[in-house]
Amino acid sequence: MKQDMSVSLGKLKLKNPVMAASGTFGYAEEFADLLDLKKLGAVVSKTVTINPRQGNPAPRTCETPAGMLNSIGLENPGIEAFIEEKLPVLRKSGVPVIVSIASETDPQEFVSLARRLDKLDGIAALELNISCPNLKKNKLVSQDPEATYSLVKAVRKACGKTLITKLSPNVADITEIALAAEKAGSDCLALINTVYGMSIDINKRRPKIAMGTGGLSGPAIKPIAVRMVREVYKKVKTPIIGIGGIMTSEDALEFIIAGASAVSVGTANFVDPGSSSEIIEGLGKYLRANRIKNIKALTGSLKE
Catalytic residues: 132
Number of domains in the chain: 1
pLDDT, tens digit (0-9, with 9 covering 90-100), for 101-136: 999 788 899 999 999 999 999 999 999 999 876 555
How far from the centroid of its chain's Cα atoms is residue 141's Cα? 16
Q: Is residue 210 part of a domain?
A: no
140 vs 9, higher pLDDT: 9
Give 9's strand partners. Answer: 12
Q: How far apart are CA 234 and CA 257, in angstroms?
A: 12
Question: 121 in helix, strand or coil?
Answer: coil
Q: Is residue 97 part of a domain?
A: yes
Q: What average pLDDT does the chain have? A: 95
Q: Is residue 66 part of a domain?
A: no
Per-residue pLDDT, 136: 56
Domain that holds residue 145: 7-55+72-194+217-298
Q: Is residue 140 part of a domain?
A: yes
Query: Rounded mean pLDDT of 162-166?
Result: 97
In CATH, what number is assigned to the domain containing residue 259?
Answer: 3.20.20.70
Which of 5-9, 27-31, 130-134, 219-223 has the lowest average pLDDT?
130-134
Per-residue pLDDT, 131: 84
Q: What angle (nearest 5°) sits at the alpha carbon of residue 259, between those of residues 253 and 263?
A: 55
Confidence of residue 137 (pLDDT cuts 50, 70, 90): low
Q: Is residue 38 part of a domain?
A: yes
Q: Is residue 49 part of a domain?
A: yes
Distance between first and last Cα of the chain: 29
Q: Is residue 205 part of a domain?
A: no
pLDDT, tens digit (0-9, with 9 covering 90-100), for 197-234: 999 999 999 999 999 999 999 999 999 999 999 999 99
Per-residue pLDDT, 58: 96
Per-residue pLDDT, 138: 63
Query: Quick check: 152 pLDDT over 90?
Result: yes
Question: 275 in helix, strand or coil?
Answer: helix
Query: Quick check: 1 pLDDT over 80?
Result: no
pLDDT, tens digit (0-9, with 9 covering 90-100), for 60-101: 999 999 999 999 999 999 999 999 999 999 999 999 999 999
Per-residue pLDDT, 104: 79
Query: Rounded mean pLDDT of 163-188?
Result: 97
Q: Who's near 139: CB < 8 A, 6+ residues apart? A: none
Whole-prediction pTM? 0.96
Q: Is residue 63 part of a domain?
A: no
